[in-house]
Amino acid sequence: MSNNWDLYFTNVKDEVAAILFDVGIREMAPSADNPWLLWVWVDFNQPREDGLPSSQEADLLSQIEDSLMDAVGRAVHGFLAGRITTNGRREFYFYAPEFAGFSDAVARGMEHFAEYKWDADSKHDPEWTHYLENLYPTAREWQQIKNRHVIEQLQKHGDSLQKKRPVFHWAYFSSEASRSQFAAEIKSRGYAVTDESAVADANSPFPWSVSFERVDNVDWNSINEVTIELLELANSLAGDYDGWETSVETGE
């Protein structure tokens, strides 16, 4: 439906899950023209111990996805909203204006993959509850997505992520008082406040800004721990944590 997709990892029923979702359809959700949720669950033949697919199955699963998207699109004008990969299977979720003909479409889409077991069903979901509550990320998961984007850029430029370095952060608040509370708290946690200012836009919901820094590790686990803590602290004060940046470090 759009060319804007992203991926994050989470837990679903205590199992690791990789969720790929269409970011671009969020602004149209829910769509009154596409009230039907359609899904296909395909079991892996060679799952890894963590329930995710093995590298040997990756190409076939990609072919299955393409085949299902084509078949469902032709039969019921359905489009893929996202997929959940967990517990030895891949779950494909579509939205469509109707469901009649969906089962036959899935059978056609899977006819060249007879070695795979699959199941399909549908339900009326006019509020797009499944997309909004199960596919679309929470604030914590969004922060992890943003962290991954920054980490990938660092690695692209040769950063091994092994070296500690100054990490710069931003947060915004609805009142000067809440910003002051936040600033006091982060100072107690070893951050240095580098700037406090007010946004000129009177319509801004978060006009009071603060910039701050601390020397930290930026590997996946470390930066997730740091940023989720800042996100939750800002949220507790009706604020908005706005992310981080750092320098590329390629030396020892």
Each residue's pLDDT tens digit, 124-134: 999 999 999 99
Of 101, 135, 169, which closes a domain? 135
Each residue's pLDDT tens digit, 56-89: 999 999 999 999 999 999 999 999 999 999 999 9
Domain count of the fold of the chain: 2
Which of 86, 90, 53, 94 is closest to 70 using CA atoms?
94
Residues of the chain with pLDDT under 70: 252
Of 135, 162, 182, which closes a domain? 135
252 part of a folded domain: no
CATH number for the domain that contains residue 153? 3.30.70.970
Question: What is the reported pLDDT for 252?
Answer: 61
Q: In what order do the strands lie in the sheet with 165-173?
A: 192-198, 208-216, 165-173, 239-246
Question: What is the reported pLDDT for 131?
Answer: 98
Of 83, 112, 135, which closes a domain? 135
Model pTM? 0.91
Reduced to 3 states (helix: H, G, I; strand: E, B; else coil), residue 121 is strand
Classify residue 184 as exposed, middle or buried by CB count within 10 Å of its CB (0-12, 13-18, 19+). exposed
- Say how many C-beta atoms besides its own lie within 10 A of residue 220's C-beta: 13
Domain around 164:
139-246
Which of 130, 142, 138 is closest to 31 using CA atoms?
130
Asked if residue 173 and residue 101 are part of one domain, the reply reads: no
For β-strands 192-198 and 208-216, DSSP reports them as: antiparallel
CATH number for the domain that contains residue 103? 3.30.70
67 part of a folded domain: yes
Asked if residue 67 and residue 11 are part of one domain, the reply reads: yes
